């Protein structure tokens, strides 16, 4: 089975079959069906994937129960501390719990590191060896990382961290925990769910309601449109330019950077639409992963709107623990006395932010371009935090209203450009290629190449551009309604049949007629599945 949720096999065979069986089976059997369907889905993609997934579930289930057991022992001893102080008892059990937490981290992160980063690590070790003039080198291992390994690893870590922090109790039901970890719509590209988000709802096995079904189908259709009409249509031209960027001037390279940013958004957010829509059919509400990111006025705001569940994961499990650690809290106290309430806390928060973006870069892939990608965004966010008081002061002195439309548009365009450059490095064939492409844009920019026909020799024509523009206008219109908190989907299903039917048929026909498939088109593989 294809790893793409946009494949005909998933949309026309697998998902309808699961829905049909779900409707037939009694309520108690439905969670088992979802678990069996999920394991079958991932086994059909990769046998290694299902083995790693089950191993991860066994680890976090066992260690979660052990942590709960230690907490119960601690609480009993605190009731009758005897000769020992309560502080001493808490410290002792905290030490034990940290050991088991460390085991869970090592086993899960170790598995991720083995599959995803072993080759990159060995390659860099060999480079260091060569610097010292040694001819011996370590053989570079080659392992294909299971699809979605980063997503379910982070989901597993979120669960075990929350058990350790006593935010949730460890689930004694292995199969309920397994279903939470392996629910088929989410694991390939997310979203990264927390136990409290979906676990209980999944296990309840509630009946499918008509409104949930219709809302889910709407969301799936919108995602398919994004993926097939825009992302797949741009795939050939992006591949041609990125692989042969030396043959084109800076304007064409810049166009490819914009195309890739749009493609990435359309593929990833489109997949999220399909995933969230699939879950919605069964009455499961998954966390949103996007909130109109291209409306952002700053890079910091962009990352609060883009891949939201990844950002909140890094915030909760890396930024806050680092920022609230004793050394950084002490640094904040001392810095605040010397530099004031704005710049004082920036010292410690910047260190925590650096850790977040280093991990973010590494999480995205095993390559220096991904580490650079993380540091690139860290730099812009850090500079933005530092200069914010000066920007506010300058705007006041110049009598610039920061909420006026021209100023907001300037900020939005600036942020979009920064994002496009960052994504260019993200997609480039190595860090050197990324800098060479940027050099082309800065030193060899010929605007005429955008309209002299060069683009139309790379895999798209004028009709493709027109279709893409129409689809982007539709996405923009829907995004505006979301930004204004207008429930468009609910409005549609509340309309009479004579209104709904034409809308539904229009969407189906638009996808069927203008979708990029058939001879000459290469569909985009799930972009985040390998991260």
432/470 same-domain check:
yes
176/85 same-domain check:
yes
The residue from 160, 187, 205 where one domain ends is 205
Question: Does residue 69 belong to any structural domain of this protein?
Answer: yes
Q: How many of the other CB atoms lie within 10 Å of CB of 29?
A: 14
3-state SS, residue 290: strand
- Nearest to residue 408, comparing CAs of 297, 294, 303, 482? 297
**Residues in contact with 118: Cβ distance below 8 Å, sequence separation at least 6, in sequence order:** 141, 143
pLDDT score recorded for residue 516 = 74
Q: Compute the C-alpha angle 510/513/518, nearest 5°.
A: 135
pLDDT score recorded for residue 377 = 95
Question: Does residue 1 belong to any structural domain of this protein?
Answer: no
The residue from 379, 403, 425 where one domain ends is 425
For residue 306, the 8-state DSSP code is B
pLDDT score recorded for residue 220 = 94
Instruction: For residue range 413-443, list pLDDT tens digits in order.
Output: 999 999 999 999 999 988 999 999 999 999 9
Nearest-angstrom CA–CA distance, 41 and 56:
17
Helices in 282-404 by DSSP H: which ranges? Answer: 299-305, 308-314, 320-323, 326-364, 368-397
pLDDT score recorded for residue 462 = 87
200/231 same-domain check:
no
3-state helix, strand, coil in the chain (%, to 5): 75, 0, 25
161/183 same-domain check:
yes
329/248 same-domain check:
no
Task: Report the number of distinct structural domains present in the chain.
Answer: 3
**Residues in contact with 206: Cβ distance below 8 Å, sequence separation at least 6, in sequence order:** 27, 282, 283
**Global confidence as pTM:** 0.89
481/389 same-domain check:
no
Tokens 């623990």 correspond to: 321
The residue from 180, 205, 230 where one domain ends is 205
Instruction: For residue range 7-31, list pLDDT tens digits in order.
Output: 888 888 999 999 999 999 999 999 9
329/415 same-domain check:
yes
pLDDT score recorded for residue 229 = 92
pLDDT score recorded for residue 91 = 86
Question: Does residue 2 belong to any structural domain of this protein?
Answer: no
pLDDT score recorded for residue 340 = 75
Is the bond into 514 cis (omega within 30 degrees of 0)? Answer: no
51/101 same-domain check:
yes
161/241 same-domain check:
no
- With 0-12 / 13-18 / 19 or more C-beta atoms within 10 angstroms meaning exposed / middle / buried, residue 26 is exposed
362/236 same-domain check:
no
Question: What parts of the chain have a pLDDT lower than 70?
Answer: 1-3, 119-120, 122, 124, 126-128, 132-133, 135-146, 518-522, 524-531
- The whole domain housing 522 covers 208-290+428-531
pLDDT score recorded for residue 143 = 58
152/46 same-domain check:
yes
**Residues in contact with 210: Cβ distance below 8 Å, sequence separation at least 6, in sequence order:** none
150/241 same-domain check:
no
Rg (alpha carbons) of the chain, rounded to whole number? 25
Question: Does residue 508 belong to any structural domain of this protein?
Answer: yes
- Nearest to residue 158, comparing CAs of 141, 180, 174? 180
Question: Does residue 199 belong to any structural domain of this protein?
Answer: yes
Whole-angstrom distance between the N-terminal and C-terminal Cα of the chain?
20
**Residues in contact with 307: Cβ distance below 8 Å, sequence separation at least 6, in sequence order:** 190, 268, 289, 290
* Phi, psi of 129, rounded to the nearest 5 degrees: -60, -45
């Amino acid at each position: 089975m294809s790893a793409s949720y946009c494949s005909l096999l998933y949309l026309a065979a697998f998902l309808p079959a699961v829905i049909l069986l779900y409707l037939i089976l009694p309520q108690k059997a439905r969670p088992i069906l979802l678990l069996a369907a999920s394991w079958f889905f991932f086994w059909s993609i990769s046998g290694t994937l299902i083995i790693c997934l089950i191993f991860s579930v066994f680890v976090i289930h066992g260690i979660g129960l052990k942590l709960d057991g230690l907490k119960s022992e601690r609480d009993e001893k605190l009731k009758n501390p005897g000769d020992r102080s309560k502080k001493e008892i808490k410290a002792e059990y905290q030490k034990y719990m940290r050991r088991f937490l460390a085991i869970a981290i090592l086993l899960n992160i170790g598995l991720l590191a083995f599959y995803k980063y072993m080759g990159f690590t060995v390659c860099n070790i060999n480079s260091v060896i060569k610097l010292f003039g040694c001819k011996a080198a370590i053989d570079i291992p080659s392992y294909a990382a299971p699809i979605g390994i980063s997503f379910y690893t982070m989901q597993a870590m979120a669960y075990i961290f929350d058990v350790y922090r006593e935010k949730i109790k460890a689930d004694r039901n292995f199969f309920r925990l397994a279903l939470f970890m392996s629910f088929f719509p989410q694991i390939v590209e997310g979203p990264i769910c927390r136990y409290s988000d979906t676990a209980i709802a999944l296990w309840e096995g509630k009946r499918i309601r008509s409104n949930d079904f219709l809302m889910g189908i709407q969301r799936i259709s919108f995602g398919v449109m994004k993926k097939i009409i825009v992302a797949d249509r741009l795939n050939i031209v992006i591949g041609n330019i990125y692989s042969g960027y030396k043959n084109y001037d800076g304007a064409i390279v810049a166009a490819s950077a914009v195309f890739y940013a749009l493609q990435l958004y359309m593929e990833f957010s489109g997949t999220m639409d399909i995933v969230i829509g699939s879950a919605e059919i069964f009455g499961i509400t998954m966390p949103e992963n996007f909130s109109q990111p291209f409306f952002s006025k700053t890079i910091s705001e962009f990352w609060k709107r883009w891949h939201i569940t990844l950002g909140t994961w890094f915030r909760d499990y890396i930024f806050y623990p680092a920022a609230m650690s004793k050394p950084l809290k002490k640094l904040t106290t001392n810095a605040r006395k010397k530099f004031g309430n704005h710049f004082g806390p920036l010292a410690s928060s910047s260190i925590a932010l650096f850790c977040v973006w280093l991990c973010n870069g590494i999480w995205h892939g095993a390559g220096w371009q991904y580490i650079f990608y993380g540091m690139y965004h860290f730099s812009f966010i850090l500079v933005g935090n530092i200069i914010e008081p000066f920007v506010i002061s300058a705007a006041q002195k110049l009598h610039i209203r920061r909420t006026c439309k021209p100023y907001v548009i300037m900020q939005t365009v600036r942020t979009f450009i920064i994002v496009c450059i960052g994504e260019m490095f993200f997609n480039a064939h190595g860090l050197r290629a990324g800098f060479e492409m940027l050099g082309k844009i800065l030193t060899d920019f010929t605007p005429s190449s955008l309209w002299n026909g060069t683009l139309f020799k790379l895999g798209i024509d004028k009709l493709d551009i027109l279709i893409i523009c129409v689809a982007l206008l539709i996405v923009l219109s829907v995004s505006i309604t979301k930004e204004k908190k207008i429930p468009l989907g609910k409005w549609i299903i509340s309309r009479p049949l004579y209104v709904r039917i034409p809308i539904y048929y229009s969407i189906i026909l638009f996808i069927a007629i203008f979708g990029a498939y058939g001879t000459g088109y290469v569909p985009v593989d799930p972009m985040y599945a390998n991260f």
